[in-house]
Amino acid sequence: MKRAKYLTVLFAGTLVYVVMSLCFGQNSLKCYSQMEEQKRIVSKQKAEIQNINTELTLELNALKNDKAVIAAYARKMDYVTDDEKLVKITGLKPYQNTLYDTGTVIRHVEPEYVSEKLCKLCGIVAALAVLLILLITDIKKGEIVLSKNKRVPVTGIPVYNIPLN
């Protein structure tokens, strides 16, 4: 086999390894797109939580400083001022605390990928397959002879061993 055939074998194995790593490996395009999707979801959740935080900060400042807001919350909790009269009505629901939406929990999801060992193994298997194919074609062409009995053409006078009896 010529050197070019050996280089072809190395090239085929390396090509398969690189393509597998690029498409399905740990740092592949597939993993990149999965991580981008997670980043988009986390950014959206972060924006929602920041909006909630802003609303709660405004509400806290109003409760600390605005007397009308303080009075409204006090009425919600059944407090009255001195000049108000109370009328007791039965059958109404009691005061319930307002629950604030604090967002949903987002868990980190590991991206799915093919291990580096498997990518290397596929490259080696591809190189061996190409080597086998090239060896078979060389054997069929007659460039490589596998038989041990090589027939050498006889030139000159043939000599026979004939037993004398």
Residue 82 binned pLDDT confidence (cut-offs 50, 70, 90): confident
Q: Which residues contact 112 (CB under 8 A, 6 or more apart)?
A: 30, 31, 34
Contact 29, 151 (CB under 8 A): no
- Greater confidence (102 vs 122) lies with 122
C-alpha distances in Å from residue 53, one per residue of 47, 49, 97, 102, 103 = 10, 6, 18, 9, 11
The pTM assigned to this predicted structure is 0.55
Q: Per residue in 156-165, pLDDT tens?
A: 776 777 777 6
Res. 83 pLDDT band, cuts 50 70 90? confident
Query: pLDDT for 2-55, tens place per residue?
Result: 778 889 999 999 999 999 999 998 888 889 999 999 999 999 989 988 988 898
